[in-house]
Copies of this chain bind each other. A is one copy, B any other.
Amino acid sequence: MNSLESVFVSLKTAQAALAQQTGRQKDAALESVARALDANRNLILKANALDVAKAVSNGMKEALVDRLSLNDKRIDGIIDSLAVVIRLNDPVGKVRAGWTTANGLFIEQVTVPLGVAAIIYESRPNVTVDAFSLAYKAGCPILLRGSSSALESNRALVALIRQGLEQGGGIAESVALADSGRHEDVDTILGARGFIDVVLPRGGRELIRRVVDNAHVPVIETGEGNCHIFVDESAKIQNALDIIENAKIQKPGACNAVETVLVHRGAIGTLMPLLAARFAGSVELRCDERARAAIGAAPAALVLRDAEETDWQTEFLDYILAVKTVDTLDEAIAHINRYGTRHSESILTSNLSAAKDFQARVDAACVYVNASTRFTDGGEFGFGAELGISTQKFHARGPMGLEALTTVKYRISGSGHIRQ
């Protein structure tokens, strides 16, 4: 048994103890964790400084170094997020349905923790505390496998989490860090049938693909978002401009940012010159022939290219927008169902039946009418916190709050019932 396997056993053992904690006990333990983090900021910052120094000397890109770096304000943010999780309702022990059968058996369907979770993630150290706190609240022990670049930060955070749990009457063994730095650890986690009940990959496309392709335990796939906005003939053009701008540039690197705008031929003439003016100097447009023609005389600062087939397939995560003209609502829906990643799709329209049709026939986790795709987010949905956005249809779909870490159990009560 290598060290990771003994960690699996320890997490599995912690599961039974954690399942017995009441909501109040779990919240008290999380409050104690918040205090431990707050009181030991110097330890966190010192460990983080080691990671940052190493990253800089390894030539890490500035944006990534920034993502890795902690400071007092960011620690405030981590503690604030923890407070949000504490205020959420306990997702465990909810009776979702209850009924009495014809022969008098009383059956209840009640929520229970899903089991042991593992998260495999990149860079940002705040994910360490976020993921732990959500899992703990849901009654799930968690194995954390962060990136090697954040190793010292994660070690400090997990040590303080455990210290907080101990001091607050919690179950310290319900959190562990896979910190050997060995690449094979990921495969060991992905193969840990009977020990790990769900793996959550959080990070870039490569990481998610690797996890999905190699896992022998259940995975919740997150993240990839090739999102569309369809501007219907009847859309209000000023609204459309504001929404497209918001969905593209408010946070271009987000999975819910728009990548392709589909425009009804009846709106293309009005929209394109205004869109070109709006994006001149900020967003590159990759247009099909009709959209390009509709721009007319392009502003000097506009970067404009002809769209190619690959543009419909690409999640740019950048200041780039593909634009395609469609003749009908049907064509827009067909395009989205072909190229979309089932994440977030929006129609801008004043036509009720177009709105209804679009929401019914587009196959995606979140289907919007007259709103920016950027709202696909656990916080915006009112879930308080999120584990990620599921792009799969199995078990969890869309923004995942605490409920994604629960399953159900049936409690059945009889009085000597036998089956006839």
Contacts and interface: CB of A to CB of B under 8 A. Distances in A.
Interface SS of chain A: helix, strand, loop or mixed? mixed
A105 B375 contact: yes
A415 to B, nearest CB: 6
Interface stretch (A34-42, A280-288, A402-410): A402-410
A46 B367 CA distance: 50
Nearest to A369: B413
B364 A394 contact: no
Interface string A66-105: 0000000000000000000000000000000001011001
A398 B96 CA distance: 14
Given A99-B382, A372-B418, A115 B393 contact: yes
Contact of A409 (B367, B408, B413): B367
Interface stretch (A1-9, A121-129, A238-246, A289-297): A238-246
A359 interface: yes
A313 interface: no
Interface in A31-72: none
Contacts of A370: 413-417
B416 A382 contact: no
A197 interface: yes
A414 B368 contact: yes
Nearest to A364: B409
Contacts of A417: 243, 370-372, 375
A394 B105 contact: no
A15 to B, nearest CB: 8
Interface in A337-366: 337, 355, 359-361, 363-366
Interface string A214-258: 001010000000000000000010010011011100100000000
A235 B414 CA distance: 13
Nearest to A395: B395
A243 B107 CA distance: 18
B243 A416 contact: yes
Nearest to A110: B359
A367 B246 contact: no
Nearest to A415: B370
Interface in A190-216: 197-198, 213, 216
Interface in A90-147: 99, 101-102, 105, 107, 112, 114-115
Interface string A1-35: 00000000000000010011000000000000000
Contacts of A274: none
B114 A419 contact: no
A42 to B, nearest CB: 35
A411 interface: yes
B375 A393 contact: no
B407 A393 contact: yes
A190 to B, nearest CB: 13
B409 A101 contact: no
Given A99-B382, A380-B419, A393-B197, A412 B368 contact: yes
A155 interface: no
Given A393-B407, A395-B395, A407-B397, A375 B412 contact: yes
A374 interface: yes
Contact of A337 (B16, B364, B375): B16
| 10 closest A-B pairs by CB | A371-B414, A246-B418, A371-B417, A239-B416, A374-B419, A395-B395, A393-B407, A218-B394, A366-B410, A369-B413
5 contacts: A101-B382, A107-B381, A243-B417, A371-B417, A397-B409
